[in-house]
Homo-oligomer: A and B are copies of this chain.
Amino acid sequence: MIDAIIIGASGYTGFELLRLLALHPDVNVSSVTSRQYAGVSVTKVYPALAGYYDTLNFTDPKEIEGAKADVIFSALPHGVSQASVLPFIKAGIKVIDLSADFRLHDVEVYEKWYVEHKAPEYLKQAVYGLPELHREAIKGAQLVANPGCFPTGAILALAPVFGGGLYNSVMPVVIDSKSGTTGAGRKAAIETSFVEVNEGFKAYKIGAHRHAPEMAQELTALAGDEVPVTFTPHLLPVSRGILTTAYVWLKKPLNGALLHALYKEFYGAEPFVRVMEPGLLPDISQVRGSNYCDIGIYVHEKEQKAVIVSVIDNLVKGASGAAVQNMNLLFGFDESTGLTTLPLSI
């Protein structure tokens, strides 16, 4: 049994960590911090958790200074997270950072897209926490940078193409993603209020979303060559789920069955990637609440074009589920522990 602390725990990824860890037999959540809710019981903020965390209150971050724990989950915003986790890293405690602070290896790229980095020396040491690409490195890491939600869906959709050297680099890579509203976090804002989002749909931050460099970093590493990414996020009027429609052109003609076989091979024993049969396409609902990434494949053989569709639950495989998967790897637990709940697809 290990002790876990969640800092910045009052948001949706914090809730989701609590939801998942409640059923993890090897983890005890000893503290959860929240400036806003310090002193308030967890079940008051999240009545759904009644019966599971009845004695747990949010505490001010100050109260856990110097606290002992086996693992720290940081669900703080980028910029804030790096400073908050630093003392724990220095104390030798394993840290899983759900913010963007340690995802980009190149400090210049980070500072171009985000803010000044206060602990750039840890960027190289941090492991990008996508088990499907970096499982062994994660096992030995002290600091895991949990991937962004859009990058998770996009990279898993495209990794076999780029990792397999199939990409025609003359042509673009178009990543058109649609995310549920939990992706915007738990906050009071008119633009994420029910009335504004309901029955609506829009694109936003075209050419300006911070998750693009993360995709480029990982796809470039797979391809061994610079991959330009054209990325457009959209806001869906649903609570959970990201669907990514990725368009990529291939070096050589491949039919759908062949590309499907390559995907099946690439993801062979992965516990949380389900490659769908040729002709089938996934719906975000089929992974809701679960840690799965489901992938559908379409190939236009003559045009040497593939359209890959992936779906994840942005709060699970796109955030807290991946964090638990990484924790399982860090501590030698079975990788699926605490993550076996089936999708609540209807």
Contact = CB atoms under 8 A, between A and B. Distances in A.
A13 to B, nearest CB: 11
A193 interface: yes
A41 B301 CA distance: 29
Interface size class of A (residues with CB under 8 A): 35 or more
A202 B243 contact: yes
B199 A288 contact: yes
B188 A190 contact: yes
A142 interface: no
Contacts of A289: 289, 344
A345 B22 CA distance: 14
A237 interface: yes
B288 A344 contact: yes
B245 A194 contact: no
A206 to B, nearest CB: 4
Contact of A206 (B196, B281, B343, B345): B281
A48 interface: yes
Contacts of A249: 172
A255 interface: no
Contact of A342 (B52, B207, B274): B52
Contact of A340 (B23, B199, B239, B285): B23
Interface stretch (A63-71, A97-105, A175-183): A175-183
Interface string A290-324: 10101010101001010101000001000000000
Contacts of A345: 15, 46-48
B207 A181 contact: no
B199 A19 contact: no
A181 B195 contact: yes
Given A199-B238, A202-B283, A236-B236, A12 B298 contact: no
A168 B240 CA distance: 37
A190 B200 contact: no
Interface string A333-346: 00000001111111
Interface stretch (A75-83, A133-141, A147-155, A227-235): A227-235
A174 to B, nearest CB: 5
Given A182-B195, A234-B243, A249-B172, A203 B309 contact: yes
A329 interface: no
A201 B300 contact: no
B186 A190 contact: yes
A187 B190 contact: yes
Nearest to A208: B298
A257 interface: no
Interface in A117-148: none
Instruction: Enumerate the 5 nearest inter-chain pairs by beta-carbon distance, A residue then B residue, closest first.
Output: A48-B345, A200-B285, A202-B283, A194-B197, A48-B343
5 contacts: A46-B345, A49-B342, A50-B294, A201-B283, A237-B238
Given A12-B346, A52-B342, A186-B193, 17 more contacts: A23-B340, A47-B282, A47-B286, A51-B274, A171-B171, A174-B174, A178-B234, A181-B198, A186-B190, A194-B239, A199-B239, A200-B238, A200-B283, A202-B284, A206-B281, A206-B309, A236-B237
